[in-house]
Chain A
């Protein structure tokens, strides 16, 4: 079945450092890909998404590019802030069941001032 694999955390960085969180996926069809973020004590918020190959999703300085050839959707940010500390989830959904989202295990990110 479909699955998402993302890098294990926790990841600890200093403020203004460059961030990469790796994500790869396995899917039988042509999924949409997402990054969600969960702040402490809150639900999930969609950070960015890409619905087809070579699309780049971006939001709040974060970017990820849908790479079909490497089945990857790595999250990057050029300069992280303390406020970016959260858990990040890579996810996918298939066209046939768009409301069924399959999540990776999550990566906890901590940013030191």
Chain B
């Protein structure tokens, strides 16, 4: 069974640009969550999508958005990039939301560098 796939693995963007990151969950998984990992702030929850609906959101500005498609694949978008958006963005998928015995499986992440 293929794991969580994130593309691209590495990105370099310029301040003010926008970027779209992609996440393909494990087959059959309906929940996809996104996290930002930085040396200063650690791992922070961005948002979660379940059945194409955003079900939970972290404390990030509106420049960070996402969506989920009918095949459960998800994208996140960051507009008007700032230097502080440089981070490792991790995607996690799980079979269902609200089941405490469900494990979240993480992808290898997309390393975004804003210059």
A residues sitting closer than 8 Å to B (CB atoms) are 32, 36, 41-46, 49, 51, 89, 93, 95, 97-106
Contacts and interface: CB of A to CB of B under 8 A. Distances in A.
B101 A99 contact: no
B33 A99 contact: yes
Contact of A100 (B42, B48, B101, B103): B48
A101 B45 contact: yes
Contacts of B90: 43-44
Nearest to A45: B106
Contacts of A89: 43
Interface of B: 4, 31, 33, 35, 42-45, 48, 50, 55-56, 58, 90, 92, 94, 97-109
A97 B55 CA distance: 9
B9 to A, nearest CB: 10
Given A44-B90, A105-B42, A100 B56 contact: yes
B106 A44 contact: yes
Given A42-B108, A43-B90, A99 B42 contact: no
Contacts of A98: 94, 97-100, 102
Contacts of A93: 100
B106 A100 contact: no
A99 B50 contact: yes
B33 A43 contact: no
Contact of A99 (B56, B106, B109): B56
Nearest to B32: A99
Contacts of B103: 46, 49
Nearest to B97: A99
Nearest to A30: B100
Most buried by A among B31, B43, B58, B97: B43
Nearest to B42: A105
Contacts of B104: 46, 99, 101
A29 B27 CA distance: 31
Given A89-B43, A102-B45, A105-B42, A95 B100 contact: yes
